[in-house]
Amino acid sequence: MSSHPSLAQVVASLEVDGSALTLEAPPSWSQGRTLYGGMTAALAWATAARSRPGLPPLRSVQAAFIGPASGRLLLWPEVLRQGKSTTLVGVDVESDERLAARLTFFCGAARDSRVAHERVAMNDVAAPDGLPRMLGEGAGPTFAANFDVRHVSGGLPYSGGPPEFVMWARLENHEGADPLVSLLALADVLPPAAMPVFPEPGVISSLSWSFDLDRLPEDAGAWYLCRATSESTADGYSRQSMDIFDASGRRILAGRQTVAIFI
């Protein structure tokens, strides 16, 4: 595998090791001393899907980031429950024989229902072409070079602006990538939404992340409008909401995250 592998190349490097899958965490997808959280989630889902072919569509994910994920990783999948229409799969990520992350994937087949509505709307924003590029091309953490991120509105880091980011984002090298794996890798790409009000640069660490999927993506290289808003920050922790829309304005993903801030 090259020193700057694409998402598809990283996923393809997963190897069977007994009941687990294993790979060497690629440094080019790192955030500080750990694998970037979105990549951790993407690899865990790839592990779940590979261990249990034919899963129903993914509906919801819960992730706990417990410790650094670096070096040789082991990903342990386990079917937690299988019902008539739903299957729950857990994946533990180990690094240096220590638990680095624990994820639960809720998969559910479609059912006939007389109830259907959508009550969320995408911001009225300009298209990504021509907007300033915020991350990638050497800016931001190491993993950011794998994405093209364009600032739309909200504050900028350390600017004193509102604690919210609205940005377009897409995966740079999407050749051969699965659309859902690509979306999971991208879904955590924005900086913590509290960062505009940081008085100076500071260390951050994602603790927990949960998100629900309104629909499944179809294009690994699509542009997505990502919105993250810090709703409350105190005692060194920030609680934020997260929404991702496709280019047609349909919401794809809605999430929440707790971030530890050391400043």
| Residue 16, beta-bridge partner list | 21
CA 153 to chain centre: 21
Question: 3-class SS at 9?
Answer: helix
> Would the pLDDT of 140 be above 80?
no
> Would the pLDDT of 202 be above 80?
yes
Of residues 253 and 130, which shows the higher confidence score?
253
- Predicted TM-score (pTM) of the model is 0.95
Write out pLDDT tens, residues 19-36: 999 999 999 999 989 999
Question: 3-class SS at 197?
Answer: helix
Q: Under 8 Å CB-to-CB from 172, ≥6 apart: which residues?
A: 136, 145, 146, 147, 148
**Topology (CATH level 3) of domain 7-109+130-262:** Porin (2.40.160)
Write out pLDDT tens, residues 190-200: 999 999 999 99
- The closest of 31, 42, 41 to 70, measured between CA atoms, is 31
Average pLDDT score over the chain: 94
Predicted confidence at residue 138, as pLDDT, reads: 59
Domain residue spans of the chain = 7-109+130-262
Local structure of residue 235 (DSSP, 8 states): T
